[in-house]
Amino acid sequence: MTSMLLALSLAPAAWAGAADSLDADEGSLTPVKGRAGVYTLVLRDISERPATVRALLDEFLGEDDPDPTATVEAKGEDAMRLRIASGVYDAKRDALRLRVLVSGSGLPRELDDVSLKISALGAGGRSSPVYVFNTTFQTLSVTVNGGPAFQLPGASFPYGLPVQPRDSVDFVASSPAKGQMSYGRNKLTADMYYGQPVAFNVDIPQTGPISTIQLYLFTDGAGVRWTALDNGRPIASGSSG
């Protein structure tokens, strides 16, 4: 099976009871010419009714809403996490076409027995992305709330500009699963491949709906300082000390 992780950008609206999943007999993943990392994901012969598919697009593709996350599962392939940039449904052909941003290698081109499930926050909303930025020149290995470690490349030399993350962490309003973040206290670790991993807490205040969080990490190898922004607006900061 192929191991892969898809990061896409899609925007949702307020949750109003539309289905959050779709099943299709087949699908395809095709790179967009001249746009590195951008693909077209097409689902064909969808099990749900056209009205259900349209309702899902209306709910999750609003212009001013935060990006949701989703998972695609297909026969013989590893589950793929993704974000969706845009979507168009052709009822006559029973085909859903999604524009996606993908990171990973060895991605399949043809998919069978496909399931698309959009992550939810609970009864009142959906997940939002958290992009973690590494401001140091060293690669960081980071964990979030006991989830699997992921790598953040060092900032560009000599100006120290953080590298744009390819993937994101899910922010949910309810109790977070391993690897997710939520309001209140989140337990993170950062390891620069020497010494012991540094543990620190990231406390996110519940001051309103979260759009997109940018979490900047600063470290000298002994401790970690962090600053969190919601769509560019500072909301919290702290340190491991």
Give the separation between CA 137 and CA 147, rounded to whole angstroms: 24
Quick one: 81 and 133 in the same domain? no
Max mean pLDDT range (15-19, 26-30, 237-241): 26-30
Q: Across residues 12-19, what is the average pLDDT?
A: 36
Quick one: 90 and 167 in the same domain? no
| Domain, as residue range, for 220 | 127-239
**Which CATH number covers residue 44?**
2.40.30.170
Quick one: 101 and 133 in the same domain? no
65 - beta bridge partners? none
Quick one: 12 and 110 in the same domain? yes
Phi/psi class of residue 123: alpha, beta or left (left: φ > 0; alpha: ψ in -120 to 50)? alpha
Predicted confidence (pLDDT) per residue in 204-215, tens digit: 998 777 778 999
Quick one: 97 and 134 in the same domain? no
Predicted confidence (pLDDT) per residue in 47-60, tens digit: 999 988 888 887 77
Quick one: 38 and 104 in the same domain? yes
From 121, 156, 177, the end of a domain falls on 121
pTM to 2 decimal places: 0.53
Predicted confidence (pLDDT) per residue in 19-52, tens digit: 578 999 999 999 888 877 788 999 999 999 998 8
Quick one: 141 and 209 in the same domain? yes
Quick one: 116 and 149 in the same domain? no
From 98, 121, 144, the end of a domain falls on 121
* Cis? peptide before 158, omega within 30° of 0: yes
For β-strands 213-219 and 70-73, DSSP reports them as unpaired
Q: Across residues 161-189, what is the average pLDDT?
A: 87
Quick one: 114 and 173 in the same domain? no
Who has greater pLDDT, 206 or 15? 206
Our count of domains for the chain comes to: 2
From 99, 121, 143, the end of a domain falls on 121
